[in-house]
Every structure is written in structure tokens, then in C-alpha cells.
Amino acid sequence: MAVVEKHAAMTASGVSGRKAGRFNSDLPQVWIGIALIALTGFGPSLLGNEYWIHTFQLVNIYIGVAIFQNFLFVDAGQKSFGQGALLGMSAYGAAIVYGLNGWPLAAAAVFGIGAAMVGGLLFALPALRVQGFHLGFVTMSAAIVFPQLLVTLDKWTNGINGINVKIPFLTQERAFGLSLIGLAIAIFPMLALVTHYAIRRSRLGRSMFVAALSPEAARALGIRPGVMRFIAFLIAAVGTGVAGLLYLPAVVFVSPQGFNIEMSFIFFFAVVVGGRGQMLGPVVGIWIVYILPNILLAQFIEYRLLAYGCLTLLAVMIFPDGIVGSLERLRARRRSTGGGEKAFRIDNFLADLDRRSLTSRPQDEVIVEVIGGTKKFGEVVAIDSVNLKVRKGEVHGLIGANGSGKTSLLNVLTGLSRLTKGSFKINGIDATTMAADRISTMGLGRTFQTPRIFPQMSLWDNLRIGLDARTENPSAEVAALAARLEEAVGEDSAALLSHGQRRLVEVMRTVLKEASIVLLDEPAAGLSQSERQHFAELVRFLSRKMGKTVIVVEHDLDLVWNIADTITVLEQGKVVASGAPVAVAKDPAVQHMFVGARHA
Amino acid sequence: MLSEILIIAIRGIAIGSIFATIAMSFNIVHGATNIFNFAQGNMFILGGFAAYFFANQTGLPWWLTMMLVSSLGIAAIVAFQGYLTLLPLRSSVEQDSWLISTVSVSVIIGALLMITQGPFAYSVSAMLPPFQLFGTRTPGAYGLAIVLMLFWFVALRLFLRKTFLGLAISALSQDFDAARAAGLPVRRLQLIAFAISGLMVGSVGFLVAPVISVNPDAGLRYVLNGFVASVVGGIGSYAGTLIGGPLVGVTAMLTAYKIGGAYQDLASLLLLVGILMLRPQGLFGRVTARRV
Amino acid sequence: MLEVTNLVAGYGTVPVLRGVSLAANPGEILLIGGENGAGKSTLLRAIAGFNKPDSGTVVLDGKPITGIAPETAAQMGLRLVLDGHRVFPELSVFDNLRMGAAARRGDRAGFERAVEEIYTIFPILKEKHRRFARDLSGGQQQMLALGQAFIARPKVLLCDEPSMGLAQALLPTILAFLRKWAETGTAVVVVEQHLAVTAPYADRAMIIERGQVKLSCRADELEARLAGEPVVEAT
């Protein structure tokens, strides 16, 4: 029965192409999250229960921190085990300035957030060089060292005794049992949630996410992963810093023991248990990880660390997506059973651009030129004194056996690796030592052997990162195309796209980027015969209708001979033949590449 | 002055030997699985607790027996942990889950120790008497730490280069796909690697118990310093840990003597960040031995 | 000995094989050719268990082994020699051979005899048996990789581009070795680009194009069949 339905739906979707449902439930999750926070932020005050007021104030502060941990962990891909230390830096910073030195509150706020930002920058510094478990160890060490320093530097921190801070102005009850700080603490996690959502929906958020998922794809789109990491750590530090400021009046007391590594683990574990990347994850996560052991097992308080650990281990083993993540997956699956593989036909969209009836031709102007380019990896010479000229508007095929240096050459041209000797120019400008992101902004776009399509993002967002990569406003045509695409695939998932369609999406991304030079790395691999023909048309369209220069590395010789204006043959890093397809096919140096005698 | 330098050097090298052994135990697991076991420090402390409970103030034969038994027990625990850690990695696309699961196992062990033993430091009586070295009285366990580091270095070298099992584990770290193609039972080998790492930290934890602070919180310090030793020496390099460990140890001791004991971990952290920024492959590390 | 039916496989969402069938018989060499990217390596990897096939079956000696782990396949007698002369670089030549015995533990005498045989066929390996494998030339590494597989005495040998990255002159030596090996009753499948050199050593041949079998014939007919193929039309 279900199968029949699915089949029927697939056929239907082939015609209509549209179906109901959002790509993800971020927005509803934000609303649910705000409702839950409001309930726990205002409810206890209305009831006048001191115990619950205090407990949920702490919970909501922690939720705020966990939201920024979630952002840092998933949206920016930075695994930090030290967010608790940042919270402590801010709370302590403010406590020292206000509580010990009696400066005004505003100065305390600035100092507290400043301290958290300095901490965040210290985390970001090693993140420029290393990732993954290295960063985990560094941040974890920092979280261990921080309380030690608080104890040792007792001249400034009051050491093991901690600092008592009373701010009656903030904690005094104003209306409905609510104090100013109570109000601020209720609103803070809501704002954190909205901030997270807003960043995720922004150009910055998408760039950050791409940088986290695939640094090389990001660089090819003009994004600098290091800068993204820095910004992410700073945002998380500021958010956590604000939480620290709220923590101080709410708890009234800071001490080194309050900010030990255990606290950092709470935030990390809450994100994992709640659901990595889910908007609601930190809310549910903190509730489970913190409330469950602290309230339900209040008489076994010493068991709470054990409970955190066990809950997290169980989550990794049984619900790797966390609680909200598992629910979200269920929802996504239910939604997609009606969809099947989407028929994403890009040529329909491209036809729109076909206003320039002029058929462009390759020009004599050289747009890409490699002069004596050599690239060595240790002793291995990948590219050996290559000279290459690509004319503006032509389709230039690069062929050669595995390991002949084709992809190395592409990587050099896109700035992902640097020539050992020689130079190359793009548009007459020397680009030999340019970083990938700068080359990208000069109008270069590329695709990868395995398409960099990110199923975590919607199909539209996958395309949109091409638009994001632009430095100027898009031309009217591209803007119109983008609008149509958004309308057509706005809430679609990229996960179900077939390989051939992913290829097209990646090419479409370069179109939205309005790259004038498009580099295609083995685009036909994995395409069926009809998809190959389709692809050949697309390349011809890019070149002849849109006037783009296309450099294509490809094994399928039929395809190359079919679409290329010029073919360059590489063998063991050297150019062995270059010229018009007909001439190159007759070149004896090339003959052995063909199985049989097809092109002779 | 000279004697002070000597004390710093000897104690630093001895403490560093512990870090080096932990770093070697990281290496064997990391080579076979690409996993860095965050729980290794608490496994080490388990060894210390075993010494306290089973071999405090006993005779030599019993002490030796217990050292063997508890090291084997910890090896079994680590192997089981390895089994759990590898479980989600078999099918899932998400290959980072080990980071979370090993951290949570570390927290679980720490919490269990805290619940059962309380936040106290336990002192374990020394088996070996102190000895005179360059005119300074040195606790016997310091000597044991250095001897044990050298023992494990030589034992691992022989094991990894001479025995079939060890060669197979080395093969795994050199070319995972080729090892599978050759029919090496990769999962079993990975568990054995985990078990050996448990044997190493269990034995060193047991032996050095008299000179360390055996308390439920101490594990994290050792896992971090072990990691720093591993990074300084170059991840994957066994010979590197022989330098990296003592270097970290001497740095910590120097800091303790010159600035204050509370700054030891800060010094290690700064050393770690410094190395990662300037030379992420470590002092002796090659860029990578594994072909992708 | 080995029967592959309608194998469909790829990497993630990338489809590479679109329904390939083949059979390898004891004592025979099956040559598989085709352009780069046609799916030859993927085919061998899918048979050996490195890629989980999306559909289709692999049967070894009557037992279905579709999608089993590669180490299990190796222990059952199906041995893949990966392309790019992959050996364990930090192990000695002799230890590399020892690793071959992983798929046939407990047969000490057989192991020693097999090592002697390999040393007789490739004396250079005997000469360098204490050296690290990383110090060998590419060709010697390929001999070693094959030697390691030989030690295991598999029922089916899959050999992925033995000539990759080597001087072509070495290919006949390697092929002659495979030929002799096949004649002892092993089913051998060789993927190779250099068809003209390889065909004389093979019994049957197959050309893969875009993930499908384009032609399948006796090895000695291959050249004629390829020459007779019409030029693929430009679309």
C-alpha cells in the first residue's frame, strides 16, 4: 500500500514538482523554544515560588550558553569543550570590577563581556591552525586551567573564597513577582535563539556553514574559513559573556568551583543530547541534562555528573541525532515519502537567460595563462613546466591519465595550492600567489569531482551560496533567475538529488555567482548517457550563450571531443599536445589513450 | 643551585615519563583507529586506585600479582570502551562521534570514582625505597616511572615490529584499505590496540601511585599532559614521546619551582598552543604516514 | 568460481556501475579494460566488499558474499590487490609477505613454501627481504603486493591496474607471473589499461564503458573487436 502511494506520489511530483512542508523546522522550533522559555522564565515568578524562580533562572542562563555552543559546534563546526570557562570569565570580570573595586555597573558589563571575548579569541587562535580533537584538547585544558588560575590569582579574584555581589537594584521585585534581572534572564535565551536563527538564515551564517562543511568549497566561493572561525568564536563569546553578566546577580556569588570543567561539559552534553544543530536542541538538552539530575534526583545530587555522562553516552549510541534531531528526522522522513527523487531540471531555468540571442564565439584574447608552471609535492612532480593559454569564451578540455596532473593544475588555478615554480595570470593579472578567495572574487568558479552539495542545507540555500559569493549586486537576469529558483525549490531538500542533478546544481551555483571562468573537474563522472548529453548542452550553453570561459577536466574523451574548442593533453605533468580537437586526435602522443581506434 | 636544577630535571623527567607512556598509549589506538581516547587519563587514575585498594602496604609478590591483575582489568575496561566507541562508527556517516563518547566515558569514570571514593586524595605507600641520585633523595616510584616508560617503549617496538599481531596493527595504521584487502581482522585488531593502551596506562597508574595524587579529579590533568606530550613529540611518533613527555614534565616542574605549583597546567596549555601554532606536526612528527 | 550478477554500485550518491555481470573461472585470466573513470576499479572494489553494492549479487564458490566486509572476503578466498602498488611502507619486505598469511592462518609449512616460491619468481624481493617496503621501487612494490596476495592462496584474485605508475616494461613480468598463478587453478581478474600488452596473457576480455559492459569476448579476439567498433557518434 505504502509503496503504491509512494510510486503514485513520485509520478505526481514529476509533473507538479512541488509539495507541501518546510525543508526544516527551524522556525517552528524557535517559536516552541520561546514559548518554553517564557513559561519557565515568567511562570515561577507569577506563582511566587522562590525555589523554582531561582532554579529556572539558572536553567535559562544555561540554555542561552548552550544555544551559542550549539551555534559554534554545528553552524561553525568548532568543537569547544571550554564554554563554561568563557561564562566564568565574564561573570568573574564583572564581579571583580563591580564587587571588589566598586566601579559602576556599566563598566562591569563592558569588562565582563570583554573578558569573555578575550577568552573566545584565545580559543580562536589555535583554531586557525588545527581542528577537531586538537581544538577539543586545547579548549578542555583552558577549562581546567581557568578555575586553577582563579584560585591562584587571589590578589585579584579573592581566591577560593569567591566574590559576593549583591545588586538589589536588579534583584528587587518590580511587578508580578518579577525583578529586572528575572526579566532579563527570561528574555536573554529567547534573544539568543532568535540570534542563532537570524545568523543561520543570513549570508554570514551560510558562509560559515559552508566553511565548516567543506573548507575547499568555501575558499572556491571566496569565503575565508579562518575568518569565519574567528567570527564564530567571537559571536559565541559575546553571547556567553552576556550570560555571565546575568549569572552574577542571579547567583549573587562567584567562586572558582562554580566554573570547573563540569560546567563546560554541561553545555556540550546538552547540545548533543538535545540534538546537534537543532534550534530547540539546547532547550531540551539543558532540561534533560541539568534539570533531570538536579531536580528529579535532588537527593542524589552527587550522581548528577554520572547522569550527564551516561545520558550523553546513551545519546551517542542510541540517538546520534539527539532528541529533537531524531524527531526532526522522523518529520523529514514523513515529508519526503511523498517526494521521491526530485526532478530538478536546470535547463528550463537557463532558457530564461537566453535573451542575448547573440551566439558568442571564442575570442583571441587570452584570459587564463600559465607560464612555466611547476608543482612539486616533495619529490613528486605533479605539474612539470606547463605552458597553457585559454582564450576568452572557449571551452578548453584538459585530458590525461590518472595522475597526469590535471586536478593539480585546477587546484593551482583556483588557488587551493601554489605553484613551486612559474606563474599564471587571470585576465592579465598575476594570480600566482593569490589566495583562493581572492581568485574566486576575480570571477572564477569551479565544481568538484564529488559535487559539494550539502544535504544539511535546503536545495535553495545550496544554490544561494553562489549568489552569496558575489561582490556586486547581481545582474537583472541573474536576479530574476534566482527569484524563480527560490520560488521553485525554496523548501526542497538537496538530500534526494541524484548525482547528475547535484552536478547541475553545482554548475548552477557558478552561474548565480556569475563567474566568468568556470572550471569543471570531471563533470561527467557518474552521469548516465542521457545526462552526459544534457551536460554537453549545458556546457555549450555556458560558453556560447553566456559567453563564459569553460575549462573542463574530463576522462570521457567522447564528451571532450564533442564540446571542446581546444584540447590540452597532459602526461606525467607535461603538456604533450595542445590544439584543436581534430589535430590533437591525430597526434601520435595521444593515440594510446583511446581504447580501440575510435578517433583515428 | 645545581642540586635544584638536578631535582627539577629528575622529577620533571620522571613525571614526564608518565606523560610519555600515556602519549604512547594514545599512539597505538590512534594509529589503529584514528581515535583519540579522552578517557585515557581516568583509566590511568583507575590504576592508581587499584594500587590503593589492592596493594597498599603489602608484600612484593602480592603487589606484583595485583599490578598484573589490575592492569589486565583496566585493559579489559578500555577494550570494552573501545568496542562501544567503534560501534556507531561502523555504519554512520558521522565519524566524529568518538569525540563525544570518549569524553562522556571519561566523565562517567570520574563521576563513579567521585561517588564511591569522595573528593579525597589517597596516598599509596611506596613499594620501592627512595634512592640517592646525584646526591638527591628520589622516591623509588620516580625511578619506576622512567623504567616503565622505557619498558613500554621497547616492548611496543618489539611487539609492533616482531610479532604477527603487532605487525598487523602497524599495517593497519599504515594503510587501512590494504590491511582490509589482505584479510587482517581489522575490528579485532582495533580492540586489541585499545586493550594494549589500557594495559599501558593501567600499569603505569599502578606503579606511580605513591608519587601522584590519586583522586577522582586527577585523570583530566594526565590526559591533557599526555596529549601535550604526544603533540610535542609528533602524533604517531613513539620516539617522539620519549622527548615530548620529559619536555612537558620538566616544563611543569620548572614552572612549579619557579612560579608556583598552580601554574603547571597553564604552562602545559601554553606549550600546547605554542606547538600547535608554530609546528602542528610536532617536533619529530612527519606530516602523515597514512596514505589516503 | 566467482559470479557477479547485475552489480550496481557507486560512492554515496554517485552511481558508477550500472548493472555489470561477469564470471571468473578457475585457471583463467579475465581481462577488464576501459577508459579512466569507466568504473573498473569500482567494480573490483564492489566485488571485494569495499563499496556496498546498491543491488546485484556476488557469489564466491557457491556462497553469496554480496556486501560483506573486505577482510571477510579475503579470508573466504577472494583477494583484491589494490591499484597503486600499495604495500605497508614501514614494514620489511618479509613482514609484508607475512601479512599475506592473515587470510590463511595456521599453515606454517605452506607459508614458508609460498614465500620460497615468491623469492624464486622475484629474486629481488629475497635480496631485499629485510628492507622496508618504502625503499623499494614502484615495480618491486607491485611484485611485493602480488606476492603478499600469493601467500594467501586465494581462490579468486582481483588485480587492479598492476601497471599503474610503473614502467611499462615491467608489465610482461607481472603478467607472466599472473598467468602461471592462474594455471594453478586460481581465477584471476585483471583490470588493465594496456590492453595490447595484456591480452595475450588473458583468456577472456571485457570492456567497461560508463559503468556497463560494452563488449565481452575471447582475449585473442579483443583487438579485432575493438578495431571493428564503429566510432561513437558525436551527439
Predicted ipTM of the assembly: 0.90
pTM for this entry: 0.86
Does residue B159 fall inside a structural domain?
Answer: yes
Under an 8 A CB cutoff, do A597 and C37 touch?
Answer: no
- pLDDT tens profile B26-75: 999 999 998 999 999 999 999 999 999 998 888 888 989 999 999 999 99
**Which of B204, B280, B276 has the alpha carbon at shortest distance from B19?**
B204
Closest alpha carbon within chain B to A140: B224
- pLDDT tens profile B182-231: 999 999 999 999 999 999 999 999 999 998 889 888 899 999 999 999 99
Give partners of B (≥3 CB pairs < 8 A): A, C
Find the CATH number of the domain harbouring B210.
Answer: 1.10.3470
Would an 8 Å CB–CB cutoff place A395 in contact with chain C?
no
Using an 8 Å CB-CB cutoff, list chain B residues near A132: 96, 99
Helices and strands (DSSP H and E) totals, chain C: 9, 10
Q: Nearest by CB to B167, which of C80, C98, C148? A: C98
Would an 8 Å CB–CB cutoff place C102 in contact with chain B?
yes
CATH value of A394-414+443-591 in 3.40.50.300, 3.30.70.600, 3.40.50.1980, 3.40.50.970: 3.40.50.300
Under an 8 A CB cutoff, do C37 and A598 touch?
Answer: no
DSSP-assigned letter for residue C167: -
Closest alpha carbon within chain B to C103: B183
Under an 8 A CB cutoff, do C15 and A562 touch?
Answer: no
Fold of C2-89+153-228: Rossmann fold (3.40.50)
Report whether A516 contacts A442 (CB < 8 A).
Answer: no
A517-521: strand order across its sheet: A444-446, A517-521, A549-553, A395-399, A566-571, A574-579
Closest alpha carbon within chain C to B186: C71
Under an 8 A CB cutoff, do A529 and C210 touch?
Answer: yes
Burial of C173 (0-12, 13-18, 19+ CB in 10 A): middle
Under an 8 A CB cutoff, do B104 and A129 touch?
Answer: no
Which grid cell sits at B89?
562508527
Interface test with B, best of C44, C85, C88 (most B CBs within 10 A): C88
Under an 8 A CB cutoff, do C11 and A599 touch?
Answer: no
From start to end of chain C, where are the E strands?
2-11, 14-24, 29-33, 55-60, 63-64, 78-81, 156-160, 187-191, 204-209, 212-218
Under an 8 A CB cutoff, do C50 and B180 touch?
Answer: yes
Which pLDDT score, from 0 to 100, does residue A478 have? 82
Using an 8 Å CB-CB cutoff, list chain A residues near B106: 309
Under an 8 A CB cutoff, do B269 and A145 touch?
Answer: yes
Which pLDDT score, from 0 to 100, does residue A550 have? 93
Which pLDDT score, from 0 to 100, does residue B135 have? 75
Using an 8 Å CB-CB cutoff, list chain A residues near B108: 306, 309-310, 313
Would an 8 Å CB–CB cutoff place A377 in contact with chain B?
no
CA A281, A283, A284, A289 torsion: positive or negative? positive
Does residue B149 fall inside a structural domain?
Answer: yes
Which pLDDT score, from 0 to 100, does residue A354 have? 55
Count structural domains, chain B.
1
Q: Note the helical H segments in A130-202.
A: 132-152, 154-157, 168-171, 180-201
Would an 8 Å CB–CB cutoff place A455 in contact with chain C?
no
Would an 8 Å CB–CB cutoff place A146 in contact with chain B?
no
Q: Nearest by CB to A595, which of C12, C13, C226? A: C226
Using an 8 Å CB-CB cutoff, list chain C residues near A532: 210
Name the minimum distance, in Å, from the CA of C74 to any CA of chain A: 27
Name the minimum distance, in Å, from the CA of A553 to any CA of chain C: 12
Does residue B84 fall inside a structural domain?
Answer: yes
Would an 8 Å CB–CB cutoff place A596 in contact with chain C?
yes
Under an 8 A CB cutoff, do C74 and B181 touch?
Answer: yes
Q: A550 Cβ partners below 8 Å, 6+ apart? A: A394, A395, A396, A517, A518, A519, A520, A539, A542, A543
Distance of alpha carbon B55 from alpha carbon A329, whole angstroms: 52
Please, which residues bridge with residue A450 across strands?
none
Closest alpha carbon within chain C to B91: C52
Would an 8 Å CB–CB cutoff place B91 in contact with chain C?
no
* Distance of alpha carbon A147 from the chain centroid: 33
Under an 8 A CB cutoff, do A529 and C195 touch?
Answer: no
CA C130, C133, C139, C144 torsion: positive or negative? positive
Q: A330 Cβ partners below 8 Å, 6+ apart? A: none
pLDDT tens for chain A, residues 1 to 600: 333 333 333 333 333 344 446 777 889 999 999 999 999 888 888 887 888 888 899 999 999 999 999 999 999 999 899 999 999 999 999 999 988 888 888 999 999 999 999 999 988 988 888 777 888 889 999 999 999 999 988 888 888 888 888 887 777 777 777 888 889 999 999 999 999 999 999 999 999 999 999 988 998 898 999 999 999 999 999 999 999 999 998 888 899 988 988 889 889 989 989 988 999 999 999 998 888 777 666 666 678 788 888 988 988 888 888 889 888 888 877 765 444 344 556 556 666 555 555 567 778 888 999 999 998 887 778 888 999 999 998 999 998 877 788 888 998 999 988 898 999 999 889 998 888 888 988 889 999 888 888 888 888 889 889 888 887 788 887 888 888 888 887 777 777 777 777 888 888 888 888 888 999 988 887 777 777 888 888 888 888 888 889 999 988 888 888 899 999 998 888 898 888 888 888 887 777 666 544 433
Which pLDDT score, from 0 to 100, does residue C13 have? 66
Q: Which residues of C touch A (CB under 8 A)?
A: 10-16, 18, 33-38, 164-165, 193, 195, 207, 210, 226-227, 229, 231-232, 234-235
- pLDDT tens profile B230-288: 999 998 899 999 999 999 999 999 999 888 888 888 999 999 999 988 888 888 765 44
Under an 8 A CB cutoff, do A129 and B280 touch?
Answer: yes
Which pLDDT score, from 0 to 100, does residue A5 have? 38
Would an 8 Å CB–CB cutoff place B96 in contact with chain C?
no
pLDDT at residue B93 greater than cutoff 80: no
Under an 8 A CB cutoff, do C13 and A497 touch?
Answer: yes
CB pairs under 8 A between A and B: 112
Which pLDDT score, from 0 to 100, does residue A7 have? 38
Name the minimum distance, in Å, from the CA of B227 to any CA of chain C: 24
Would an 8 Å CB–CB cutoff place C164 in contact with chain B?
no
Would an 8 Å CB–CB cutoff place B287 in contact with chain C?
no
Under an 8 A CB cutoff, do B182 and C152 touch?
Answer: yes
Spell A64-78 as b/e; 16+ CB within 10 A means b. bbbbbbbbbbbbbbb
User: Which stretches in chain C have pLDDT values below 50?
Assistant: 230-235
Report whether A309 contacts A266 (CB < 8 A).
Answer: no
Closest alpha carbon within chain A to C207: A595
